[in-house]
Amino acid sequence: MNSSLLKEVVLEQRKVLESIDLGIKRQALGELAKYIRLPHSIVISGIRRSGKSTLLAQIIHNFYKDEGYYINFEDERLIEFSLADFNTLYEIFIELYGDKKTFFLDEIQNIPKWEIFVRRMQDRGYKFFITGSNASLLSKELGSKLTGRYISLELYPFSFKEFLDFNDYSPGKDTFLITSERGRIKRYFSEYLKKGGMPEYLKYKDDTLLKRAYEDILYRDIVARYEIKEVKALRELGFYFLSNIGGLFSYNSIKKLLRLGSVNTVKSYADYLENSFLIFTIPRFSYSLKNQLASAKKAYCVDNGLIEAVAFQFSQNKGKFLENLVFIELKRRYREIYYYKTNNGLEIDFLIRKDKRNALLIQVTEVLDSDKVRRREVNALTSAMDELKIKDALILTEDNEEKIKVKDNTITVIPIYKWLLEKRLQEKLPVFK
């Protein structure tokens, strides 16, 4: 690559970095603080437009000031950049800014074999902060070259707490006890439920930004990278998932419904959508791995705003929006998420496993006011609790709050907006007997 052009890019990007709006302090910044002084590379992955570049700027501003090298590989002028150009880039960095010990590499997945350079420089005592928008690509490269020498973090769109920070509202310890404050929280929650947490969209309030992000994921992150020929099939699959949030599916049923080639094609395309962080799939919980793999899956989207902007008439179903919102928060908190189906066919929205002995059952419903809905949710949970020997469970609703005792079992009912603001990992995790 032409060194003069590369120098021009570095200088211009530096000016952009220095003038960038740092926005609200991301919760991830606090998590990363304890790793700042470790020699390990820090890898931040997540969907496009979730704020990875801004988080890098916050890291630089809070911990490094002018003590690092920064480059964003999403710049179209770097399309010809290759592994061989890293030495030239390093030379330009030294020429412009002197000898530094920290690199900030933004959207690194665009550069083939980048991990070779990172490993070589890491061996020489340099530290790296790396962002990327492809989970599979990053894990493959990190696993092959940086095994045990990196710490990974997934960045999601704004949490509800971050959404409140964005709106300059900070709930206090008595917020839920004061009628007017509780009303404000509920108003913000209703807005967050539909708009989601994509930072750029919330700043400018233009649906086009969400639609463009969706198109970039399909065409730049998937079609171009994997050389997809059946673009129409990929679009139909993405649209299907966003329009059927929380619904059960199998790859074979989708193949028949959408007439999308082979089952392997459907599975590959679904994997691409998941690797780009657009959707997440969860399996049915079973102690048998064979049964787990053979069962239908459920799919969720990374952001409710994307669903609202892209999916077909989805906004009429508030229950699915609530369920999707709960799922994304669970992704922030836990690694193992399943759904569960009882022996008599009753479905539990989420089963969380912390380890082999600890689990948490969660149902999500809009309201718990009618006897029919109450019986349905309680019966499903008590059946599952009896089968799994669990004594406690949660029902998350739009606004109900109570304790339900069924024999020795306790079901806690709590509004989702209150649960979202609870301290992380605060839930009591019952034990498998």
pLDDT tens figures, 68-86? 999 999 999 999 999 999 9
- Helix 263-275 vs helix 135-145: crossing angle, to nearest 10: 80
Using CA atoms, how far apart are residues 161 and 164, in angstroms rounded to an integer?
A: 5
Residue type at position 419: W
Residue 312 to residues 193, 236, 339: CA-CA distances in angstroms? 17, 12, 25
Distance separating alpha carbons of residues 399 and 331, to the nearest angstrom: 22
Q: Evaluate whether 20 touches 57 at the Cβ level (below 8 Å).
A: yes
pLDDT score at 427: 40
Measured between alpha carbons, how far is 307 from 244 in angstroms, rounded to an integer? Answer: 10
Cβ contacts of 102 within 8 Å, gap of 6 or more: 64, 67, 68, 69, 126, 127, 128, 129
For the chain, list the domains and their CATH numbers. 3-155 (3.40.50.300), 318-433 (3.40.91.50)
- For the chain, the 3-state helix, strand and coil shares in percent, each to the nearest 5, are 50, 20, 30
- Please give the model's pTM, rounded to 2 decimal places: 0.92
- Low-confidence residues of the chain, pLDDT below 70? 136-145, 147, 313-316, 356, 423-433
pLDDT of residue 177: 82
Who's near 348: CB < 8 A, 6+ residues apart? 339, 340, 341, 342, 361, 362, 363, 380, 381, 384
**C-alpha span between 184 and 200 (Å, rounded):** 23
Q: What is the largest CA-CA distance in the chain?
A: 75
